[in-house]
Structure 1
């Protein structure tokens, strides 16, 4: 089964990392298929996940026997979220939701459920519902640092920069200066203060006391993106390489670094970097683009066919999680800029991160339909939104 990537992946990685710190799939086809051989291998699980499978099975069985066991449900849901993040597998978030089913529809669930429910809803682009859960939690616990940070993440995805700053200010009163500075730097980077944001991120990267691998990797990735906004491509590449050198797999990092390599006309480097990442839709798209640029016609056609099948399957499920990546597919793979702009604008109505805005501009430029993006251009000017194209 193909993965369905949450398009706000940069912040999403940060959210799920903190949820866990603080508190290989096969191709999709449009219709189900029954194997003709009982010995057929339907899916090969990633090696890193195999050791967790038995543990998850034990927890699943216990929860079936004790469906009202809140502590057990929370542990199991967190493990599923971790698996979903590590393997870019959306099914795990569905399993996490199922683990919380006893409390999922409650209007006043326990605090931990509110936080996990908001995290899962954010992944599914249910931003209004996620904000409602987070504000309910913060009304009960105004000093809940993780809730303030997660709220700032959702606000950043939606382009609510005033909200982000307010949440970062509240976070600064209850969390470390390292975390709160990181919070501020992300919104500064896209609202006209990229130079200052980059200085903050560079300073945070030199802090020897912050030795959590996942957080340092996320910081280096963010610093790389900010460097790109400033035209510091070499510095950006150095940040991305340092982040990769930490040894923790982060799909978002792989994606933004691949985009830089493609921009620098290094498609063969992308094919090498992402050789084992065909289960991840966003990374498979980069493989297809790189294969096309490298003149690898046969493998390009294979990747293209796989992506088309996955997008069709998503449409059958009524999913909109693919829209930004599908817009890039139509723009750079299928060369249909009109369709790309349609998808990009539909996605932009929901979320307004750097990549969301950039694909709108790229599609409009290619299709020469500038009048359709007047509201986007007004928003960019109003918010002083800064990006790299």
Structure 2
């Protein structure tokens, strides 16, 4: 997605994916979000000192934060554009390198991101954020041992909650999940004044852990606490929507996601809820919109949303064979719980147990814990 700033800066496709020439210069093509306070000042600082990386780093960080909050990829493209003068330079400051690694990670260029992060920690062994990001990338790729080793470097560099959070990420898809949950809960309890973003993230992960163990009341309690603190957090909304869908509460999803249809992943959850509710008339335009967005991503060479596309293909379009191919491609890149579960679902729907042997071996080797995945794996074995 972020191969070039120009492609990433293109607006999200709305409606049909085919190009169209406006009838006049007065025609509204798309409505963009309002200007966010603070960006004007940061941009002015960059313009005033174009050769100084410090104001560029400050603006790029702001764009990355906005991208994470809204799940709008254009902000990541804008961050990369701001860093363009230093993007490919081997002597770029570590602050630029860290942002470059973050953007590479967001674009699922995990190997390149890891290489960048390793260069940072080699030159600056006390770079806390670089170790945290490296552990996250390693965990996403299924390298739990490497993630634990990276987390171990943090114990003398940062607070207990950050260290426990790192270990929770590292152990999430292993037999250490229950211990990771206890550590994270302890860290959150001890640091009552944790930053709001950190607290929301920790509560969300704790809710997901409880759901994975089958403790629905505790998961609901933790999700509710997280939503009170951050009712518009895109990752939290997606995780809670999945929780509701898994428990037959699809009727609660449309209201939850009503104002978040610009986000592809959340629009997909909306479509899944409509399908579960049998609302075919309402589903039809949403299905067309999602197909248009995935088609546009394919034209851009964007493979970031392979997970969402595979899930859409399986559960909305009902094409198990095509979904399995997409899920396999996705699982080669990232091995989070959602990727593993989706591959199992697609393989079972396609009645292709041979395709599932690698993921079944990986589940056994990792000791992955999740009540839904355990049922799927038993069926596939």
TM-score, L = length of structure 2: 0.90
Q: Could you tell me how far 1:156 is from its partner in structure 2?
A: 0.8
Q: Does 1:354 align with 2:354?
A: no
Equivalent position of 1:192 in the other structure: 175
CA distance in structure 1 between the aligned counterparts of 2:352 and 2:110, rounded to whole angstroms: 29
Q: Does 1:228 align with 2:215?
A: no
CA distance in structure 1 between the aligned counterparts of 2:113 and 2:171, rounded to whole angstroms: 23
Which segment is superposed worse, 375-384 or 130-139? 375-384
Q: Does 1:50 align with 2:35?
A: yes
C-alpha contact 1:27 1:310 (8 A) present in aligned 2 = yes
Equivalent position of 1:8 in the other structure: none
Q: Does 1:261 align with 2:244?
A: yes
Q: Does 1:331 align with 2:314?
A: yes
CA distance in structure 2 between the aligned counterparts of 1:309 and 1:25, rounded to whole angstroms: 10
C-alpha spacing 1:211/1:344, structure 2 compared with 1 (3 Å): same
C-alpha contact 2:13 2:292 (8 A) present in aligned 1 = no
C-alpha contact 2:164 2:180 (8 A) present in aligned 1 = no
CA distance in structure 1 between the aligned counterparts of 2:318 and 2:134, rounded to whole angstroms: 37
**Aligned residue pairs: how many?**
364
C-alpha contact 1:119 1:130 (8 A) present in aligned 2 = yes
Q: Does 1:85 align with 2:68?
A: yes
For 2:14, what is the secondary structure of its paired residue? coil
Equivalent position of 1:177 in the other structure: 160
The match for 2:185 among 202, 206, 212 is 202
Q: Could you tell me how far 1:60 is from its partner in structure 2?
A: 3.6
Equivalent position of 2:103 in the other structure: 120
Relative contact order (alpha carbons < 8 A, sep ≥ 6): 1 or 2 greater?
Answer: 1
* 1:272-351 mapped onto 2 (5 Å cutoff): 272-351=255-334
CA distance in structure 1 between the aligned counterparts of 2:217 and 2:343, rounded to whole angstroms: 26
Q: Could you tell me how far 1:182 is from its partner in structure 2?
A: 1.5
C-alpha contact 1:224 1:240 (8 A) present in aligned 2 = yes
Q: Could you tell me how far 1:385 is from its partner in structure 2?
A: 2.2
- CA deviations 1:62-109 (Å, max 9, x no partner) are 535643121111111112112211221101111111101111001231
C-alpha contact 2:60 2:78 (8 A) present in aligned 1 = yes
Equivalent position of 2:17 in the other structure: 30
C-alpha contact 1:56 1:76 (8 A) present in aligned 2 = yes
CA distance in structure 1 between the aligned counterparts of 2:192 and 2:28, rounded to whole angstroms: 46
C-alpha contact 1:224 1:236 (8 A) present in aligned 2 = yes
Q: Does 1:75 align with 2:58?
A: yes
Equivalent position of 1:17 in the other structure: none
Q: Which 5+ residue runs of structure 2 have no aligned equivalent?
A: 3-10, 373-381
Q: Could you tell me how far 1:44 is from its partner in structure 2?
A: 3.1
C-alpha spacing 1:222/1:332, structure 2 compared with 1 (3 Å): same
Q: Could you tell me how far 1:141 is from its partner in structure 2?
A: 0.9
C-alpha contact 1:197 1:226 (8 A) present in aligned 2 = no
CA distance in structure 2 between the aligned counterparts of 1:165 and 1:222, rounded to whole angstroms: 17
Equivalent position of 2:5 in the other structure: none
Which segment is superposed worse, 92-101 or 33-42? 33-42
CA distance in structure 2 between the aligned counterparts of 1:77 and 1:193, rounded to whole angstroms: 36
C-alpha spacing 1:388/1:67, structure 2 compared with 1 (3 Å): farther
Q: Could you tell me how far 1:248 is from its partner in structure 2?
A: 4.8
CA distance in structure 1 between the aligned counterparts of 2:230 and 2:338, rounded to whole angstroms: 25
- CA deviations 1:220-270 (Å, max 9, x no partner) are 110011112211122112111110110352211111111111111111200
For 1:222, what is the secondary structure of its paired residue? helix
CA distance in structure 2 between the aligned counterparts of 1:306 and 1:345, rounded to whole angstroms: 24
Equivalent position of 2:223 in the other structure: 240
CA distance in structure 1 between the aligned counterparts of 2:123 and 2:350, rounded to whole angstroms: 50
CA distance in structure 2 between the aligned counterparts of 1:363 and 1:321, rounded to whole angstroms: 19
C-alpha contact 1:330 1:340 (8 A) present in aligned 2 = yes
